[in-house]
């Protein structure tokens, strides 16, 4: 799984949002996401990597992301426009319509006691492979209940 995660490379995309009657959604623009230095530990049932996320030329995150596989509660994957809509809903913001170019997908990992992590990919086959691999690893480490 670590090899597949490391193969993502930089993902660049543009997201456009619009709220009916209100116009463009603020904060939506040019994004870049990159996963590097992936480390998997079967003994510790963990997956760690360095993540760098940039929005409109400003670094939004540059640090280590970790998944304790035994604490995975849900793995969900889908197009980034749906990920943006879901984030709006969870934050109580007005529903917006999003468009992402080029087509980009998010793999959301929900953990027992940590914030959700979204891994961004542009290859739908890679996304499917990552969901399967993460599900198998999580189940082997006692994660659950899962919804894959």
Task: Walk along the chain (148 residues) in steps of 10 and give the mean pLDDT of each run.
Answer: 86 88 72 94 94 94 94 93 86 82 94 89 94 92 66
Distances in Å between the Cα of 59 and the Cα atoms of 33, 53, 101 are: 10, 6, 20
Domains of the chain, residue spans? 2-140
End-to-end CA distance of the chain: 16
Dihedral sign, CA of 70, 72, 75, 81?
negative
pTM (2 decimals)?
A: 0.84
- Residue 17's pLDDT is 83
pLDDT at 26: 65
Q: Is 5 in a helix, a strand, or coil?
A: helix
What is 2-140's CATH number, 3.30.160, 3.40.630, 2.30.29, 1.25.40?
A: 2.30.29
Of 94, 25, 21, 87, residue with least CA distance to 56: 25
């Amino acid at each position: 799984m670590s090899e597949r995660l490391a193969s993502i490379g930089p993902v660049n995309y543009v997201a456009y949002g619009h709220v009916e009657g209100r116009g463009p959604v603020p904060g939506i623009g040019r994004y870049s996401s990159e996963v590097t230095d992936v480390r998997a530990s079967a003994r510790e049932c963990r997956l760690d990597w360095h993540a760098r996320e940039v929005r409109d030329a400003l670094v939004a995150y540059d640090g280590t992301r970790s998944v304790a596989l035994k604490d995975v509660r849900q793995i969900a994957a889908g197009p980034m426009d749906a990920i943006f809509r879901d984030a709006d809903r969870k934050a109580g913001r007005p529903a917006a319509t999003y468009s992402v170019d080029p087509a980009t997908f998010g793999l959301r990992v929900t953990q027992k006691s940590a914030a959700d992590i979204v891994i961004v990919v542009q290859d739908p086959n890679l996304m499917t492979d990552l969901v399967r691999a993460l599900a198998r690893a999580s189940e082997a480490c006692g994660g659950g209940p899962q919804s894959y």
